[in-house]
Structure 1
Amino acid sequence: MKIFNQLLVGLLMGVCAQSAWSSEFKPSKPVTLIVPYGPGGGTDTVGRLFAQKLSAIWGQPVVVDNRSGGDGSIGAAHVARSKPDGTTLLLSVASIVINPYIMTQKLPYNTKTAFTPITTLARPVVVMIASSGMQAKNVPEFISEARKKPGKFTFGSAETSTRMYGERLKESEKFDMQHIGYRGSSQWTIDLLNGLIDTGFMSITSAMPFLKDGKVKVLGVLSSRRSELLPNAPTLLEQGISGLESHSWYGLFGPGKMPKETVDAIYEDVKTVLTDPEVLNKLKFLGAEIGGDPPEEFNKRFQGDLVEYEAMIRRLHLNETSQ
């Protein structure tokens, strides 16, 4: 009888443990996670990490679908047209709240209503990088040189979210440098290595391979504190430049008008993934901070960013169209 009772207790504990990890979101078919950028970048890396873990929770494959183009708008448009049942999700960075005000063509969706913010998966830490051959060792030295030669220095970007770091720095410190747009981050990084452009902004996730090879150097970290991956790289705040901490995020969205119960269930599952030591270690290795904002909080941030970036882009005269 004692052995039977022990077995019964063990069985009940197993059932309880299983139910604790079970999901209220029960998709009847594979889930598609749209990553609106090409494979190999920071967004794709984070997306695949979470897709693997959510697949195990949901009992369905979570397929990462890279639909690049239009600075994320092509992939976003696909999600906006999808059924709001949770089986088509979008992983986006802050470009989604900037594109409505800066793109030359009107978007095929209304950003304010076409998506349902669910939560943040992580927050990338952004760095300002330059070729290892550049004389300037930090951001103030770079700005000093740029002020001596207005318009001579350049910065590259392949997406609006990283471009805005350069635009904000120019506005804050009152100097000029030219923006050079590219189709992909690898293209402007190659030009940076070859000395064809002077600087740029990217997440530590994307910059690490070049930093390890010693081909680029960090002028400053756009964070409130130093990164554990780059303990010797000072923040912009340490260099006397305030208010330019990274505003970006890896945000998980569904189509507009997704039912609250579906949103809440997916959010709870993301929170479960964010307790996984393997995920936490990989995010740390990527130089990203963990997310997990509640849906209401993330939606407030999302709508607030739309307002903030619209005002900024109009103030800096960067907008060519709006909706």
Structure 2
Amino acid sequence: MTKSIALTALFFAVSAAHAQSGAFRPTKPVTLIVPYSAGGGTDVVGRLFAKELGELWGKPVLVDNRIGANGVIGTAVVAKAPADGTTLLLAVSSIVINPYVVPKLPYTTKTDFTPITPVAKPVSVLVSSPSLPASDLKSFIELAKARPGKYSIASSEPSTRLSGERIAKAAKIQLVQVPYKGAAQWMADVAGNVVDTGFASLTSALPMMQHKRLKILAIASAERNTTLPDVPTFREVGINDLDSKSWYGLFGPGGLPPNTVAAIYADVMKVLAKQEVKDRIRSLGAEPGGEDPAAFARRFHQELHEYDQLTREAGMQVE
């Protein structure tokens, strides 16, 4: 019995040591707000990091899918949360587009969030219904030019709508924009031949492509992806300004103390150092992130500036 008690004590001591191995020491469970539906690319990546960080911190990291209003509803929760690191946001580039396309945001994007790091960098792809008589972007553009206004493109957030507008402008084609409330819904409609095309992260599109529920026509990256060596890039058909700048960015509320930012970043880097985590991210069609907080903050504010011009050029800005 004495031996059993000693082993039990050792087990709890090791567990406690492991739980305290993180630089960040939350005193209660951490909530990770994912402002998009469960099962999408942002959600999948969020749950991966929630599990790993929860083990590191010795406190549960609870993923909360607060969907609606192009991500605004969930994002607003974080903007109003205490700046103690126990409420975090996993956002995509819509956070820097929404100020220009959503009227009367309930927060100030520039000041109400603290950039920590992009945990991963997804690749965007143009997908189509299986029955679309085009095998790649070049043949789709030919179809669209032959029948202006015949083909549709779905979007569930400003970033995907903007990508569609930019393709149409660059290729000089007319596409019918079909808005949706969530990516899962429009991707199901693409698979069901209800809508013709849409922009998605490779993370979301890859499983459906593998099950032949949709086709991937092109990839928004500088080079072909090793996961999809036969899929051309947009550059290859003369569309040169759609290289992916996407990220799954981790944010805290505005005013998050620098030492808390540094601690959370250090722990994210511990997670990203695991080979199995890097392999999992790549299997999802993304690349590991890890940009330091200062660099990510610069990127965040630079993209806020850039999307002002891009949304204006696309005629998407609200008055």
Superposed, 1:29-178 pairs within 5 Å as 29-103=28-102, 105-178=103-176
**How big is each residue's C-alpha offset from its partner over 1:135-191, in whole Å with a ceiling of 9 and x where there is no partner?**
222212212222232222210011122222111212222322121101122222232
With structure 1 as the length reference, what TM-score do the two structures score? 0.89
- Aligned-pair Cα RMSD in Å: 1.7
Distance in 2 (CA, whole Å) between partners of 1:42 and 1:195 is 22
Distance in 2 (CA, whole Å) between partners of 1:80 and 1:270 is 21
- Aligned residue pairs, count: 303
Shift of 1:240: 3.1
Which region of structure 1 is more displaced relative to structure 2, 269-278 or 236-245? 236-245
Superposed, 1:239-250 pairs within 5 Å as 239-250=237-248
Counterpart of 1:184 in structure 2 is 182
Distance in 2 (CA, whole Å) between partners of 1:261 and 1:296 is 13
Superposed, 1:204-215 pairs within 5 Å as 204-215=202-213
AA aligned opposite 1:27: P
User: Any conservation in 2 of the 1:157–1:201 contact (CA below 8 Å)?
Assistant: yes
Which region of structure 1 is more displaced relative to structure 2, 210-219 or 265-274? 210-219
Counterpart of 1:12 in structure 2 is none
Shift of 1:116: 0.3
AA aligned opposite 2:237: Q
Secondary structure class of the residue paired with 1:238: helix
AA aligned opposite 1:62: V
Moved over 3 A (4+): none
**How big is each residue's C-alpha offset from its partner over 1:28-81, in whole Å with a ceiling of 9 and x where there is no partner?**
111111111121111111011111111122121111111111111111101000
Distance in 2 (CA, whole Å) between partners of 1:99 and 1:152 is 29
Distance in 2 (CA, whole Å) between partners of 1:297 and 1:276 is 22
**How big is each residue's C-alpha offset from its partner over 1:272-302, in whole Å with a ceiling of 9 and x where there is no partner?**
1101112111101101111001111111111
AA aligned opposite 1:220: A
Counterpart of 1:235 in structure 2 is 233
User: Any conservation in 1 of the 2:37–2:184 contact (CA below 8 Å)?
Assistant: no
User: Any conservation in 2 of the 1:26–1:58 contact (CA below 8 Å)?
Assistant: yes
Shift of 1:265: 1.1
Counterpart of 1:226 in structure 2 is 224
**How big is each residue's C-alpha offset from its partner over 1:244-275, in whole Å with a ceiling of 9 and x where there is no partner?**
11121100000001111111111111111101
5+ residue gaps, structure 2, are 1-13
User: Any conservation in 2 of the 1:161–1:248 contact (CA below 8 Å)?
Assistant: no
**How big is each residue's C-alpha offset from its partner over 1:85-115, in whole Å with a ceiling of 9 and x where there is no partner?**
1111000111111111112x31100111110
Distance in 2 (CA, whole Å) between partners of 1:32 and 1:138 is 41
AA aligned opposite 1:312: L
With structure 2 as the length reference, what TM-score do the two structures score? 0.90
Counterpart of 1:286 in structure 2 is 284
User: Any conservation in 1 of the 2:127–2:199 contact (CA below 8 Å)?
Assistant: yes
Secondary structure class of the residue paired with 1:298: helix
Secondary structure class of the residue paired with 1:320: coil
**How big is each residue's C-alpha offset from its partner over 1:192-239, in whole Å with a ceiling of 9 and x where there is no partner?**
233332211111111122211212111111112222222221222233
Secondary structure class of the residue paired with 2:259: helix
Distance in 2 (CA, whole Å) between partners of 1:88 and 1:187 is 28
AA aligned opposite 2:29: P
5+ residue gaps, structure 1, are 1-14
Superposed, 1:248-263 pairs within 5 Å as 248-263=246-261
Counterpart of 1:25 in structure 2 is 24
User: Any conservation in 1 of the 2:125–2:218 contact (CA below 8 Å)?
Assistant: yes
Counterpart of 1:299 in structure 2 is 297
